[in-house]
Structure 1
Amino acid sequence: MTTYQVDGWTALGDPRRREIFERLVERPRTVAELTGELPISQPAISQHLKVLREADLVGFRPDGARRVYRVKPEGIAALRADLDRFWASTLANFKQLADAEAAQRKDNDHD
């Protein structure tokens, strides 16, 4: 079986994974808790958690025979950095367009 590294955005693109992630944002949970709360089988939840772990969005700590899954702050920070970069680029593009439009209006007013 070939594995590949998935990024956080791709991992959260799946509605079920996003639902699991949102539950973990509320508080850490075990697979059994997630299975009891969601209409998803235990094997499917485990597979979704594996993808979220590979995307560095969640981690776990052992608690006896169980694993307690939690959101990893560094994974959220990476998503936030992407959003900040997108927003900065969008604002810069908007400023450029607004400046060009203002210059065009100024040129039209002088004609």
Structure 2
Amino acid sequence: MSIHDIIEGKKQWRAHVARVKALPPDYRIVYQEMQRYLFKVGPVALTDGTLLPGIVDFFEEGAASGKGVLELIGEDVAAFADGLIKDTPTYAEAYQEAVGGAGD
């Protein structure tokens, strides 16, 4: 990874954070909780840079249509987040496999 890639990545992250801050308060709170959850669970695909911006896109569209965030995703925020990554391997799963496979 070159210094140019690092700088570009920081620019993209700052632009992403600005989009999140522009969301209505209820959307912003739910997004931040989902982000914390996803960072904790650690889907491997999180680093490809499409999941979090995709959530913001979805939330921006919902806010523009006048819907509340829970109307879009339902009452169970964690279940919605799990649905987004259901077919994606996570670092937690990789760790469990490594620990489980270590004793074999």
The two structures share one fold, judged by TM-score above 0.5: no
Q: Which TM-score tier does this pair reach, normalised by the shorter chain?
A: 0.3 to 0.5
Indicate the structure whose relative CO is greater, using CA pairs within 8 Å and at least 6 residues apart. Answer: 2
- Which structure's CA Rg is the greater one? 1
TM superposition score normalised by structure 2: 0.34
Instruction: Point out the structure with the larger strand share.
Output: 1
TM-score normalised by the chain length of structure 1: 0.32
Higher helix share: 2
